[in-house]
Amino acid sequence: MSSADPAALPNSPHARDKTYALHPYTNARAHERRGPTVIESGKGIYVRDDQGNEYIEGLAGLWSVAVGFGEERLVEAAAAQMRRLPYYHSFSHKANNPAIDLAEKIASLAPAGLNRVFFANSGSEANDTVVKLLWYFNNARGRPQKKKIISRIRGYHGITVASGSMTGLPWNHRDFDLPLPNFLHTACPHHYRHAWEGESEEEFASRLAGQLEQLILAEGPETIAAFIGEPVMGAGGVLVPPRTYWQKVQAVCRKYDILIIADEVITGFGRTGRMFGCELFDIKPDMLVLSKQITSSYLPLSAIVISDELYAGIADNSDRLGNFGHGFTTSGHPVATAVALENIRIIEEDGLVANAAAMGERLQAGLGELRGHPMVGEVRGVGLIAAVELVADPATKRAFDPLGKVGAAFFERGHGHGLIVRAVQDSIALCPPLIINAEQVDEVLKRFRLTLDDTYTWSRENFA
C-alpha cells in the first residue's frame, strides 16, 4: 500500500476501523494487517466502496436484501414512520399500528395453523426465543423433562448462547464453551459428501431419518422437545435436502410428539422461488422463524410465528403466572415493522417470488455448465440461492487440504472481478437480490467464471 493511498492515512476510515472495531466472523489479527473494504453506497444489485470500485453483491449482503439496495419506498416508509412514532415498546399491553398490521400480514402468509407472531430483532434472537418458548410450553404442559432440541451438523441458527448451541458449525462452538447440554446434533443431509457409494437420494434420506429415530430413542422421546432445521441449509454451504428427506424426518418427529421448527431466516420471503421454503418441501412446522428478507435487512427485525396449540399453552401459563416474562426493548419496533410491510408489498407487487423462480432457473443452469471444470465438484441450489463446491479432484471428490484456503482465494479474487460472494470453506455461495434480471444473472455468471479460472490458476501454483 503506497503512502498516497487514502487507506494509509492515519485518520482514514480504514485506519480508524482497524484501531477501534472488532468485526464479526473475521480473523482480528488478519484484519489489522489487511484493513476493511469500506462500502459507501448501493443501488439495485450493486454496491460501491470508498475507493470507487463497484461490485455485484452476489450474496445480497448476508442472504438478505430482497428488493436491492437504495429502494426509495423503504426509505420513505422509514422516514414517514419516524415522524409519526419513531419508537414505542410492546410491553404491558402496548401496541403500534405497523406491528399490528405486520403480524396480521405474516399470519396470512404463513403455513396453515400458524397465527401468532412474536417480534425480535435478529434471527439469533428469534431462535433464542424459540428455545425459551419450547421450555416454557413444556413446563406449562407438565413435561419438565421434555427440553432437548435436535438440530443438524452444519445447520446454522444463530450465535447467542442458545441459538449458537443449535448451530452445528465448529467455529461457532470452539472456545465459546458451546453447545450447552440438551442441544443435540444429527447427521448433515448432504448427499454429495455423506451418501454411501451407490446410495440414492431417497435411500440416503431413509438412512438419515433412521439415524434421527435412533438418536431420539437413545435419549428418550419424552426428553425431546423439538427438531429445528432450515429448508435449505444456508450458511452451512447451501445444502439442498435429498428427495423425500423432509417427509421422512417429519414422520419420525410426529411419531414421537416432537415439534418441528422451520428456520426460514434465509429462505423466507421468496428466496427459493416460493414465498417460504416450507411450501417447496412440504414442511408443516409448529413454529416458523423469519428475519433478513423481512425488511431486506434495511432495519433489524425478526419474527417467530407459532401454532395455535403452542400459543394456547403459552397464554394459559402466562395467566397462571401473571405475566409472560420475555421480550425485547425493541420488539415490534414501529419503524422496522413499517419498513417490513412496505418491503413485503414490493415483493408481492413486483412479483419477486416468481422472478426468483425464473431467474433462479437461469442462474442454476448457468452454474450447471461449470460441471466438468477441473476444480468444480458439485453445483447445487434452488431458486436464487446456489453454491459451487471447489475440490482438488472432481473424480474422487477429494477436497483441498487445508480446507478453506481455496475458498478464501476465490472470495478475494472475486472482488477483483467486481463480484462479492461468500466462501463456506471451499463452497462458493451465491444469493443475489430477488430483483435481479436476466442480463444481470448472465453478468454474475461471467464474473464467476473469470474468478473461477483465476482461482484455478492460483491453485495449481499453490497446491502442486
| Residue 195 counted as domain residue | yes
What is the pLDDT, as a whole number, of residue 7?
Answer: 62
Using CB atoms within 10 A of its CB, is residue 19 exposed (0-12), middle (13-18) or buried (19+)?
Answer: exposed
C-alpha cell at 393: 479432484
| Residue 223 counted as domain residue | yes
> What are the E-state strand segments in 213-361?
224-229, 259-263, 287-290, 302-307
Mean pLDDT for the stretch of residues 343-366: 98
How many domains does the chain contain in total? 2
Residues 281 and 400 in one domain: no
- Whole-number Å distance between alpha carbons of 366 and 443: 11
Residues 368 and 442 in one domain: yes
- pLDDT band at 463; cut points 50, 70, 90: confident
The domain boundary residue, chosen from 324, 349, 374:
349
Residues 342 and 355 in one domain: no
Share of the chain above pLDDT 70, in %: 98
Residues 195 and 56 in one domain: no
Q: What is the CATH number of the domain that holds 365?
A: 3.90.1150.10
Enter the DSSP assignment of 263: E
- Planar angle of CA 433, 382, 167, nearest 5 degrees: 85
| Residue 31 counted as domain residue | no
Using CB atoms within 10 A of its CB, is residue 62 exposed (0-12), middle (13-18) or buried (19+)?
Answer: middle
Mention every residue, 6+ apart, whose C-beta is less than 8 A from residue 159. Answer: 124, 167, 172
- Whole-number Å distance between alpha carbons of 158 and 235: 10
- Whole-number Å distance between alpha carbons of 456 and 390: 9
| Residue 176 counted as domain residue | yes
Query: Helices (DSSP H) in 86-197: which residue ranges?
Result: 97-109, 123-140, 161-166, 191-194
Is residue 225 within 8 A of residue 183, CB to CB? The reply is no
Residues 423 and 325 in one domain: no
What's the pLDDT tens digit per position in 132-152? Answer: 999 999 999 999 999 999 999
| Residue 30 counted as domain residue | no
Does the predicted TM-score (pTM) go above 0.75? yes
| Residue 45 counted as domain residue | yes
At residue 453, what is the residue type? D
| Phi and psi torsions of 151, nearest 5° | -125, -170
Residues 432 and 338 in one domain: no
For residue 384, which of 169, 63, 1 has the smallest C-alpha distance? 63
Using CB atoms within 10 A of its CB, is residue 93 exposed (0-12), middle (13-18) or buried (19+)?
Answer: exposed
What average pLDDT does the chain have? 96
Mean pLDDT for the stretch of residues 306-334: 97
- Whole-number Å distance between alpha carbons of 25 and 40: 20
For residue 155, which of 216, 228, 212, 225 has the smallest C-alpha distance? 228
Residues 290 and 388 in one domain: no
The domain boundary residue, chosen from 289, 319, 349:
349
What's the pLDDT tens digit per position in 418-445? Answer: 999 999 999 999 999 999 999 999 999 9
Residue 220: give the domain boundaries. Answer: 73-349
The domain boundary residue, chosen from 315, 349, 383:
349
What's the pLDDT tens digit per position in 202-235? Answer: 999 999 999 999 999 999 999 999 999 999 999 9
What is the pLDDT, as a whole number, of residue 10?
Answer: 79
Residues 338 and 409 in one domain: no
Residues 54 and 86 in one domain: no
Residues 312 and 393 in one domain: no
Residues 111 and 248 in one domain: yes
What's the pLDDT tens digit per position in 223-276? Answer: 999 999 999 999 999 999 999 999 999 999 999 999 999 999 999 999 999 999
Paired strand residues for 385: 382
- pLDDT band at 464; cut points 50, 70, 90: low
| Residue 26 counted as domain residue | no
| Residue 25 counted as domain residue | no
Residues 211 and 236 in one domain: yes
